[in-house]
Chains A and B, each alone.
Chain A
Amino acid sequence: MTDRRAPEFATDSASGAARVSAARGGALGNGDLGEPGNAGPERPPVRGGGVIEPPEVADRRPYSVNVELTLACNLRCRHCGSSAGKPRPDELSLEEFATCFAELAQLGGEEVCLLGGEPLVRKDWEAICHQVGEAGLRLVLITNGMAVNDEVVRRMAAMPHLHRVGVSLDAAHAEIHDDLRGRSGSHARALWALFSLRDAGIEVGAITTLSRPNLEELQPLAELLLDQQITWQIQVASLGGTRFDSSDHLDRAAFYRVGQFISECRRRYPVDRLPVAGSHDIGHHSEILGPTGELAEWHGCGAGLYTLGIMSDGRIKGCLSQHDDFIEDNLRHRSLVDIWNDPNLFTRNRRFSVEQLEGFCRQCPYGATCRAGCSNVAYTTTGCTFDNPFCFYRIEQEDGLVAHPDRPGGAG
């Protein structure tokens, strides 16, 4: 199945290699990020000292929208954040999706990422893909590869608005991938999909979801994907899914190792050989590792500011990664335009104030713009969306990885 937390892949509207390359170049000004149709969402303006503030109300738009086409899935992945398998009882129809895409275009949306469940198990997936194009939006598709065959590759290659396809790949070794994904043969299908789509001229990326069982697969995966013209997004399995054994969740030390690995890959391999980036849940503001994400700098959770998540039954969240506690409304109750423009929704980011930060995040110098990183990681680990222990900067400070002038033995 595909991973609920793959939307980062979708927000990268530029070529993956180009985006990662930009990130590796160090500090990016707003101009680098704000060219429509080329380099991602129009981010809020950079103020003095490189601090990026949330956009004003008038500037908000759902630039990149993740749409769960169905909760049905042909795999039963252990780490699945949405516990996918069976479809939701009353999923959106073709007509409802068409209305939804038209409203997104009206709101200034540019890109729609279709995911699941597994989007390709829906019989009308191709028609829905075409609807995205008809609404004038770019399309990104995320699949586990199980249903990809020659005919599907041909159909995808014929879609002019298809920008990228992401394929879930959790390990270089088949037995580990198949075990995590709950079905033998799924690794072979994923590899076949990746290489067939690439050979058909479609921009493709591998998406790896990390938990304890596949942590040691990072290096073999790097060797597998090196020089393959395939971008690589790494994300961390969250504690949200019902099939996920919490003992498989990465602890902070293992989480930091992931950052070290990405940093080391970027140092060792040129970006055109291995374009690798951590997802929005990996980072941020490390003083040792340098940028590990797709952007040079983390600008805070974009849920309800630049992104939107639409569940297959019409329920709306700021981001599909968020826990179901943060469902805001349902597009069957009122229009998407009304929901997006409702000043009382998406308050986590729209009404943020630094006083809401808790724990280490409250005293963090990046708190005002970082807003405690990925809200889902923060919420599922601490119960608070504003206290995030899975942060490179925090780990470096709390675990003494960075010499601190006011600590004994610290650098003065």
Chain B
Amino acid sequence: MDVRPLDPADPALAAIEEMLGEHYRSNLASYGALSREGTVLFACFEDSQPIAFGIFRNYRDPELHVGSHIDLDQLADILQMEEVGLYQVALLHARHPDRLVETTEALLAAFEGWLVEHYQRHGIFITLFEKGNRLARPLYKRLGFKKVGRPSSLMRFDLHRSDRFFRKIPPLPEALVVRFFEEVGEAEKESFAECYRTVFLRSARPDPSSVFSALTRVVSAPDFDPYLSCLLWSHQQERVVGFMLAQRPEPLQPHILVVGLLPEFRGQRLPLRCFPFIARRALAQGLSRGTFVTTQSMVVRLAMRAFGARQIERIQPYLKVG
């Protein structure tokens, strides 16, 4: 078995695209593989044919924060250490499930070797959100991965019951207005990037222009849903103070990727107050259910009470430091 990194011209990419489409209804572009700097793709070959692959993403790339299903604050300290390469295992997959353990082990070993060549120290983390990652669960402990931080909860909300709940949700304060992505201009997008940077990336302190360009790519991605993604705009301050980004991985099931609010606007239930705006749009499109991920048990509890959301899975991050 041969394991090697792939470049954008590798002929094996077509076979991997096929596997992604078949098993995940996705493609390499949606994982940023080969289109983003810092995303690395490794594949296992047998008889010159790819039998498994792994997608590894540089966690310092702001683009990857969106929808990563882990508590970003937990890794803030590591992100401040410039010499540490921090990568997320986005997806591991084997064509034949009975080869998964063997190929996963080989892929992770090859990727770790690559990290050793490029960084003084490194960290690899993984969540079991993706099916391929989940199937290889028994392997991680043996390979030295340890549970880190809080597990996230995958929540599902049922929009058919929403009217019953939404009557109780207080309206937004007058100074704030919801603006959906399909109608926002460049100035608002720039303000959004600044808001995102303040909310999630204060510790890492990346260059504002890199955040803007990364988020521009996020909102241009094929599965990003501008119809259900919105910004919270303050008339008084003339800036974006919060955001909710959604994607549509499956045609009839929106997924709220990430919710953020500037610190001074927290504690006013603003995401909850925005939610009816999104839900009404979703209902108008005939969407009955949606999902979101949160790391906070408080949000789980409140979402259950406020609009009948249900917890359908807990996602635990694992980290290996070398």
Contacts and interface: CB of A to CB of B under 8 A. Distances in A.
Contacts of A324: 73
A89 B77 CA distance: 7
Contacts of B202: 330, 333
A271 B206 CA distance: 56
B297 A242 contact: yes
A326 B298 contact: no
Contacts of A351: 264
Given A358-B170, A383-B272, A325 B263 contact: yes
Contacts of B298: 239-240, 323, 379-380, 383
Do most interface residues of chain A lie in helix, strand or loop, or is the interface mixed? Answer: loop
B267 A375 contact: yes
A241 to B, nearest CB: 9
B297 A239 contact: yes
Interface in A361-388: 375, 378-380, 382-386
A356 interface: yes
Contacts of B131: none
Contact of B263 (A239, A313, A327, A330): A327
A386 B73 contact: no
Interface string A307-325: 0000001000000000111
Contact of A384 (B73, B80, B203, B268): B268
A212 interface: no
Contacts of B263: 325-328, 347
B160 interface: no
B172 interface: no
Of A89, A246, A326, A328, the most chain B CB neighbours within 10 A belong to A89
Interface string B53-97: 000000000000000000001000110100000000000000000
Interface string B291-319: 00000011101100010000000000000
B260 to A, nearest CB: 11
B150 interface: yes
Contacts of A380: 298
B294 to A, nearest CB: 12
B269 interface: yes
Nearest to A238: B298
B78 A89 contact: yes
A333 B267 CA distance: 24
A88 interface: yes
B77 A384 contact: no
B161 interface: no
B301 A379 contact: no
A330 B203 contact: yes
A246 B266 contact: no
Nearest to A380: B298
Contacts of A90: 77, 80
A340 to B, nearest CB: 15
A345 B202 CA distance: 14
A324, A348, A383, A385 — most chain B CB neighbours (10 Å): A383
B77 A326 contact: no
Contacts of A344: 264
Nearest to B301: A246
B272 A313 contact: no
Given A246-B301, A383-B272, A313 B77 contact: yes
B297 A326 contact: no
B77 A88 contact: yes
Nearest to A89: B77
B83 to A, nearest CB: 13
A325 B267 contact: yes
Given A90-B77, A240-B298, A327-B263, A384 B150 contact: no
Most chain A CB inside 10 Å of its own CB: which residue of B78, B80, B306: B80
Nearest to B203: A330
A323 to B, nearest CB: 7
A77 B139 CA distance: 31
Interface string A331-370: 0010000000000110110010000101000000000000
B78 A383 contact: no
Contacts of B266: 325-326, 385
Contacts of B299: 383
A240 B266 CA distance: 16
A306 B159 CA distance: 45
A166 B77 CA distance: 31
A151 to B, nearest CB: 33
A386 B272 CA distance: 15
Contacts of A89: 77-78
A385 B77 contact: no
A41 B16 CA distance: 66
Interface in B145-170: 150, 170
A383 B150 contact: no
B76 to A, nearest CB: 9
B110 to A, nearest CB: 28
B93 to A, nearest CB: 31
A325 B297 CA distance: 13
A356 B268 contact: yes
Nearest to B74: A89
B267 A326 contact: yes
Contacts of A378: 267
Contacts of B297: 239, 242, 246
Q: Which 9 A-B pairs have the closest CB atoms?
A: A385-B267, A347-B264, A89-B77, A383-B302, A383-B269, A384-B269, A325-B266, A90-B77, A379-B267
21 contacts: A89-B77, A239-B297, A239-B301, A246-B297, A326-B266, A326-B267, A333-B202, A344-B264, A348-B267, A351-B264, A358-B268, A358-B269, A375-B267, A382-B302, A383-B306, A384-B267, A384-B268, A384-B269, A385-B266, A385-B267, A386-B267
Given A330-B203, A384-B267, 7 more contacts: A89-B78, A325-B266, A358-B268, A358-B269, A382-B269, A383-B306, A385-B266
